[in-house]
Amino acid sequence: MDVHVFWTALIAAIPAGTPYLFATLGEIYAERSGILNLGVEGMMIMGAVTAFGTTLSTGNPWLGVLAAAIVGGLMASIHAFISITLRANQTVSGLALTMFGLGLSGLIGRRYIGTPLPARLPRWHIPVLGDIPLLGPLFFQHDPLVYLSLLLVLVMGFILFYTRPGITIRSVGESPATADAMGVNVFLVRYVCTIIGGMLAGLGGAYLSVVYTPAWIEGMTAGAGWIAIALTIFALWSPFRALLGAYLFGGVKVLQYRLQPLGISPNLLNMLPFVLTIVVLLAATGEVQRKRIGMPAALGIPYERGEK
């Protein structure tokens, strides 16, 4: 295979993986606090349609992106209310949100089909660094949201592992009773993390409709939300590892058709994230492994304070 083709594919992996990255970062925070959010797909697609529509009517793609984040956050707050305050079944709540998002976005997006975007986000070309042969295009010629996602990886990873709020979040997901006894407001922490998760999912969807494609197509997330959920596990709940995972899966997405002439079926390739997730999940269960690897112990279990 042509090296040049390979290299351009590698460069393309980054924008391809960026929606996954946003959504995964959000889901990592939600799950770290103990909330399983299966509504990512719904939040992403609602983000996509919101961003597209807002950009269309205001002419400003940044507003579109912002609106997408807000919508994602709103949807997540519903999930948060049902899961945290009502202590209902998180799985079902997430699924319902996904279905709702898919349906509503389809309806809203009817009139956007085939409409071109009036404005696009600029492609940044970082001076000097962007001119380096080979590495330039790879790292320094992307759109601002890519850089935002990278920044978020650093910031969110740093906060989670090296700061006081990070300890709080992780403790809430591991042992909410202990955190509660130490005066932490478990409900608040979970609410915040879940809503952050939704906002970032919305952002990921916005990227798809406003930057990556850019267009509105019904169902355009095409399972990106489920991949993000898989990625969260694959990344072992670490924003840093999520970076690698997202670009890996983005690369797979980009390469799937280019590898076809080599006899590798794109469909089998697409299976990979899901198979790997099961493998990782299996390795991550079991008390000892869990402690070393980091699946939050209280994930998916509603917290009910015992008699106080």
Partner 1 sequence: MTASETLVRMEHIVKRFPGVVANAGVTFEAAAGEVHALLGENGAGKTTLMNILYGIYQPDEGEIYIRGQEVRIRSPRDAIALGIGMVHQHFMLVHPHTVAENIILGLSDVPFAYPDRAVKEKIAEFSERYGLRVDPDAYIWQLSAGEQQRVEIVKALYRGAEILILDEPTSMLTPQETQELFGILRRMAEEGRTIIFITHKLEEVMAVSDRVTVLRKGKVVGTMKTSETNQRELARLMVGREVLFQLDKPPATPGKVVLEVERLNALNDKGVPALRDVSFVIREGEILGIAGVAGNGQKELVEVITGLRPATQGRVLIDGEDVTNKSPREILAKGVAHVPEERMHMGMVPNMSIAENLILKTYDRPPFSRGLFLDPKAIREHAERVVKEYGVSTPSIWTPVKLLSGGNIQRVILARELSIKPRLIVASHPTYGLDVGATEYVRKLLIEQRNKGVAILLVSEDLEEIFALSDRIAVMFEGRIMGILDAEQADVETVGALMAGIQPGGEAD
Partner 2 sequence: MGRRIRFEKRAVVSPTVSVVANLVSLILALLVIALVFRVIGLNPWEVYRRMFSGAFGSKYGLSETLVKTIPLLMAGVGLALAFRALVWNIGAEGQLLMGAVAATWVALFAMPNAPAWILIPTMFVAGFIAGAIWAIIPAFLKAKYETNEVITTLMMVYIAEEFVNYLVYGPWKGAAEWGFPYSDKFPDAAQLPLWGTTRVHYPTLILAILAAIVVYFMVQRTRWGYEIRVTGENPTAARYAGIDSVKVILTVMLISGGLAGMAGVGEVAGVHHRLRVAQGISAGYGFTAIIVAWLARLNPLGVIVTAFLFGGLLVGGDTLQVSLQLPVATIDLFNGVILFFILASEVLTRYKIVWHAEDLST
Where in 151-170 is the site for partner 1 (CB under 8 A)?
158, 162-165, 167-168, 170
Q: Which stretch binds partner 2 (CB under 8 A): 127-135, 145-153, 196-204, 218-226?
A: 218-226
* C-beta separation of 228 from 253 below 8 A: no
Measured from the CB atom, the residue of 135 and 182 that comes closer to partner 1 is 182
d(C-alpha 24, C-alpha 245), whole Å: 10
d(C-alpha 227, C-alpha 205), whole Å: 13
Nearest to 219 by CA among 92, 108, 145, 119: 108
Residue 155 region, left (φ>0) first, then alpha (ψ -120 to 50), else beta?
Answer: alpha
User: Residue with structure tokens 């793609």?
Assistant: 61
* C-beta separation of 140 from 129 below 8 A: yes
Measured from the CB atom, the residue of 1 and 92 that comes closer to partner 2 is 92
Residue 175's binding partner out of partner 1, partner 2, none, with CB under 5 to 8 Å set by partner kind? partner 1
Q: Which stretch binds partner 1 (CB under 8 A): 17-25, 142-150, 181-189, 220-228?
A: 181-189
Q: Which of 226, 237, 247, 303 binds partner 2 (CB under 8 A)?
A: 226
Residue 241's binding partner out of partner 2, partner 1, none, with CB under 5 to 8 Å set by partner kind? none
Residue 9's binding partner out of partner 2, partner 1, none, with CB under 5 to 8 Å set by partner kind? none
Q: Which of 183, 261, 263, 267 binds partner 1 (CB under 8 A)?
A: 183
228 counts as binding partner 2 under rule CB under 8 A? no
Q: Residue 151 CB, nearest distance to partner 2 (Å)?
A: 29
Give the largest Cα separation in the chain, rounded: 67
* C-beta separation of 262 from 1 below 8 A: yes
d(C-alpha 197, C-alpha 239), whole Å: 13
DSSP character at residue 124 = P
- Site track 13-52 with partner 2 (rule: CB under 8 A), x = hit: -----------------------x-x---x----------
Where in 86-115 is the site for partner 2 (CB under 8 A)?
86-89, 91-93, 95-110
Measured from the CB atom, the residue of 75 and 295 that comes closer to partner 1 is 295
Residue 109's binding partner out of partner 1, partner 2, none, with CB under 5 to 8 Å set by partner kind? partner 2
Q: How far is CA 100 from CA 89, 132, 209, 234, in A?
A: 17, 46, 19, 27
d(C-alpha 251, C-alpha 205), whole Å: 18
* C-beta separation of 100 from 42 below 8 A: yes
d(C-alpha 308, C-alpha 297), whole Å: 23
Query: Which amino acid, 89?
Result: N
Task: Please report, as ranges, the residues that interact with partner 1 according to CB under 8 A.
Answer: 158, 162-165, 167-168, 170-171, 174-175, 177-179, 181-184, 290-292, 294, 297, 308
Task: Please report, as ranges, the residues that interact with partner 2 according to CB under 8 A.
Answer: 36, 38, 42, 82, 86-89, 91-93, 95-110, 218-219, 223, 226, 229-230, 233, 265, 267-268, 270-271, 274-275, 277-278, 281-282, 285-286, 299-300, 308
